[in-house]
Amino acid sequence: MYDDNNIFARILRGEIPCKKVYEDDHTLAFEDINPEAPVHTLVIPKGKYTSLKDFAAKASDGEIGALVRAVNKVAELKGVKDSGFRILSNAGADAHQTVEHLHIHVFGGRVLGPMLVKK
Ligand code: 5GP
């Protein structure tokens, strides 16, 4: 169930400020408030989708295409398209998703190391 008061819904409504990186009809990208790399930008759909699972089931092909293209555009705008970048989307409890509106993290600007913490 989508919560209209989640923090990204409030950013989309302009109730909470963000440092915008990119916007189009279907997507918004903005800087993460607590960056974990020199480049750490979040890309979100404007539609009300809790996670990738929800997005894949309900979003239109146009929305899905726009999100993928926006991620690539953000990498270009942030200057990491050629040096390399990582995208990540946490979905659900095991992944520690903390905001229940689909978001794609774009990391870059340094060597990012292994993909996951080793146990
Ligand atoms: P998750 O853990 O759900 O994958 O990532 C949520 C991300 O949202 C975190 O990296 C966190 O720093 C970021 N975040 C949480 N609240 C805000 C906020 O109010 N503004 C911005 N720009 N980022 C936020």
101 part of the active site: no
**Worst-scoring range by mean pLDDT, 13-17, 35-39, 63-67, 113-117?**
113-117
Contact 7 CB / ligand 1 (< 6 Å): yes
CA distances from 49 to 6, 7, 37, 52 (A): 11, 13, 26, 8
Q: Is the pLDDT of residue 28 over 90?
A: yes
d(CA 3, CA 96): 17
CA distance 41 to 46: 16
Q: Give mean pLDDT, residues 42-46.
A: 99
For position 30, what pLDDT does the model report?
99
Q: Is 119 exposed, middle or buried (0-12, 13-18, 19+ CB in 10 A)?
A: exposed
**C-alpha 33 – ligand 1 centre gap (Å):** 6
Mean pLDDT of the chain: 97
CATH homologous superfamily of 7-108 equals: HIT-like (3.30.428.10)
Strand order of the β-sheet with 104-108 is: 20-23, 27-31, 39-45, 104-108, 85-88
64 lines ligand 1 (CB under 6 A): no
The residue type at 19: K
Given pLDDT bands bounded at 50, 70 and 90, which one contains residue 90?
Answer: very high
Distance 32 CA to ligand 1 centre (A): 6
Q: Residue 118 C-alpha to ligand 1 middle, in angstroms?
A: 23
Which among 26, 101, 103, 105 is annotated as catalytic?
A: 103
Per-residue pLDDT band for 117 (boundaries 50, 70, 90) equals confident
Residue with the smallest CA separation from ligand 1 atom 15 is 33
Question: What is the domain partition of the chain in residue ranges?
Answer: 7-108
| 56/106 Cα distance (integer angstroms) | 19
